[in-house]
Amino acid sequence: MSIVLAAEDIAISFGSNHVLKSVSFVLGEGEVLGVIGPNGAGKTVMLNVIAGILKPDKGRLSFRGQDIFRYSVAQRARIGIGCTFQIPRPFSHMTVYENCLVGAVFGCGLSERAAGRRVHEIFDLIGLAHKKRDFAGKLSLLDRKRLEIGMALASEPKVLLLDEVAGGLTESEVTEILKIVAHIKYSGVGIIWIEHVLQTMLHGTDRVMLLAEGENILCGPPDEVMASPEVEMVYLGVAEKAPGKRRKIALASIAPAEGNVGNHE
Ligand X SMILES: Nc1ncnc2c1ncn2[C@@H]1O[C@H](COP(=O)(O)OP(=O)(O)OP(=O)(O)O)[C@@H](O)[C@H]1O
| Binding residues for Mg ion (CB under 5 A) | 43-44
Residue 54 carries which DSSP code? S
Answer with the entry of ligand X, Mg ion, none that 185 interacts with (C-beta below 5 to 8 A by kind). Answer: none
CB of 39 to ligand X, least distance (A): 3
CB 129 within 8 Å of CB 157: no
d(CA 235, CA 2): 33
**Among residues 40 and 168, whose Cβ is nearest to ligand X?**
40
Answer with the entry of Mg ion, ligand X, none that 42 interacts with (C-beta below 5 to 8 A by kind). Answer: ligand X
d(CA 209, CA 251): 10
Answer with the entry of ligand X, Mg ion, none that 19 interacts with (C-beta below 5 to 8 A by kind). Answer: ligand X
User: Which one, of 149, 154, 151, lies nearest residue 180 by Cα?
Assistant: 149
Answer with the entry of Mg ion, ligand X, none that 153 interacts with (C-beta below 5 to 8 A by kind). Answer: none
Tell me how far apart the terminal alpha carbons of the chain are, to the nearest angstrom: 18
Answer with the entry of ligand X, Mg ion, none that 259 interacts with (C-beta below 5 to 8 A by kind). Answer: none
User: Which one, of 30, 255, 55, 64, lies nearest residue 160 by Cα?
Assistant: 30
**Among residues 2 and 17, whose Cβ is nearest to ligand X?**
17
Q: Which residue is nearest to Mg ion (CB)?
A: 44
CB of 232 to ligand X, least distance (A): 17
CB-side neighbour CA atoms (13 Å) of 181:
33
> In the stretch 11-50, what mask flags binding to ligand X with x, by CB under 6 A?
---x--x-x-----------------x-xxxxxxx-----
Answer with the entry of Mg ion, ligand X, none that 56 interacts with (C-beta below 5 to 8 A by kind). Answer: none
**Among residues 79 and 202, whose Cβ is nearest to ligand X?**
202
**Among residues 44 and 205, whose Cβ is nearest to Mg ion?**
44
Q: Where are the alpha helices (DSSP H) in the chain?
A: 43-51, 73-79, 96-102, 112-126, 141-153, 171-186, 198-204, 222-226, 229-236
User: Which one, of 200, 137, 139, lies nearest residue 167 by Cα?
Assistant: 200
CB of 16 to ligand X, least distance (A): 11
CB of 187 to ligand X, least distance (A): 27
Judged by phi (left if over 0) then psi (alpha if -120 to 50, else beta), residue 213 lies in left
CB of 15 to ligand X, least distance (A): 8
Residues at the site binding ligand X, with contacts judged by CB under 6 A: 14, 17, 19, 37, 39-45
